[in-house]
Amino acid sequence: MTIQWGVLGASSFARDNMAPAIHAAKGANFAALATSSVEKAKGFQTYAPDIAVYTDYDAMLADPKIDAIYIPLPNHLHVPWTIKALEAGKHVLCEKPIALKESDFDDLIAARDKAGLIAAEAFMIPHHAQFGRARELVQSGAIGDLVHIDGTFSYNNAGDLDNIRHDPAKGGGALPDIGVYPIGAARLVSGQEPQSITLANLRYEHGVDVFAQVAADFESCSFSAVVSMRMMNYQQMTFHGTTGVLRLTCPFNANKADVAELILDRKDAPRHVERWPAENHYVRQVENFSAAAEGDAEYPVPLEWSRGTQQMLDMIYAAAK
């Protein structure tokens, strides 16, 4: 069976990344788009000319031919529309952050369990081989004992003040937008959870955080990260152990900003490099979700896991106050 997908909202990210991934994924078919502007549908129809186009979101949710919904709406709409889609009998993959506070997960998990369907945050990096390999190496002791994790993710949208990331009413800010990545990467690779926030240096403009410098203690290692909407595009993750250092290049926009590489340096050993020049984590995410919707596999990052990242974001905001 092929999962029939509907996209709820014609964002540029959906048009350029996730809808093409649904179109390309095995076991999935991009069948419908709901948008308030028929004009916006044209960008999707260049690669999926046969999609049904709805100008009413609820009408697409009522379509019995649609099995799963992908939601790329502004952050503050994620929880209500995820719940509405579940109540309409659809599996849901919703853009990150799926919620704006940790307590929102109570309603999301309850709606998922009542519906008996799959609902998950569209956090794509766990689906990339780069992260599976990093987790394997770190947790097997390839760098000795893990001592410190460091991450950076930045871009500069200072000249785009109409962007929803600058709107506090819509869940804007650097931490909700990109802070989830170094935090999620640290949790994913280490298998550990944050215990306390030791530094939360946030800088605000227009009511949203545009720069965040964060430090934390995990169970047996420390963590630091910088995320910003006011710095040149850059991304990296480093895992530093007692006998080695593992670095991930382009960990969050793999093969978009640069080639995804894993670089392992160990004492008295030659540098080890692995590369994934063709891996598409968006396609893998859709394939893994579709398999879970079919009942063929467990989804690797359920809501309970995503809740942990939001809990750390809440801890950072609380510490900054």
Domain harbouring 34, CATH code: 3.40.50.720
Query: Is residue 148 exposed (0-12), middle (13-18) or buried (19+ Cβ within 10 Å)?
Result: middle
Residue 316: inside a domain: no
Per DSSP, the three-state class of 216 is strand
pLDDT reported for residue 256: 81
pLDDT for 3-29, tens place per residue? 999 999 999 999 999 999 999 999 999
- Axis-axis angle for helices 129-139, 180-190 (nearest 10): 50
- Do 135 and 256 share a domain, yes or no? yes
Count how many domains the chain has.
2
- Do 208 and 252 share a domain, yes or no? yes
- Do 208 and 235 share a domain, yes or no? yes
> Is 96 one of the annotated active-site residues of the chain?
yes
- DSSP structural state of residue 18: I
pLDDT for 95-104, tens place per residue? 999 999 999 9
Question: For residues 83 and 56, is the Cβ–Cβ distance under 8 A?
Answer: no
The β-bridge partners of 58 are none
- Do 88 and 25 share a domain, yes or no? yes
Residue 249: inside a domain: yes
- Do 44 and 69 share a domain, yes or no? yes
- Do 86 and 202 share a domain, yes or no? no
What is the span of the domain harbouring residue 111? 3-124+285-300
Q: What is the CATH number of the domain that holds 160?
A: 3.30.360.10
- Do 258 and 134 share a domain, yes or no? yes
Q: What is the mean pLDDT of the chain?
A: 96
pLDDT for 193-249, tens place per residue? 999 999 999 999 999 999 999 999 999 999 999 999 999 999 999 999 999 999 999
257 has a pLDDT exceeding 80: no
The residue type of 66 is I
Q: What percent of the chain has pLDDT over 90?
A: 95
Tell me how far CA of residue 312 lies from CA of 186, 200, 315, in angstroms.
11, 11, 5
What whole-number distance in Å separates Cα of residue 89 and Cα of residue 108? 14
- Do 171 and 54 share a domain, yes or no? no
pLDDT reported for residue 306: 98
What whole-number distance in Å separates Cα of residue 318 and Cα of residue 321? 5
pLDDT band, very low/low/confident/very high, at 42 (cuts 50, 70, 90) = very high
- Do 189 and 247 share a domain, yes or no? yes
- Do 81 and 199 share a domain, yes or no? no
Active-site residue among 96, 101, 170, 321? 96
What whole-number distance in Å separates Cα of residue 95 and Cα of residue 173? 15
Which residues contact residue 152 at a Cβ distance below 8 angstroms, ignoring those fewer than 6 apart? 182, 225, 226, 227, 234, 235, 236
Per DSSP, the three-state class of 167 is coil
pLDDT reported for residue 255: 82
What tokens does 104 get? Answer: 């929102």
Phi and psi angles of residue 249, each rounded to the nearest 5 degrees, phi first: -90, 145
Which residues contact residue 258 at a Cβ distance below 8 angstroms, ignoring those fewer than 6 apart? 249, 250
pLDDT reported for residue 50: 95
Per DSSP, the three-state class of 163 is coil
DSSP per-residue codes, 237-282: EEEEESSEEEEEES-SSBTTTB-EEEEEEETTS--EEEEESS--HH
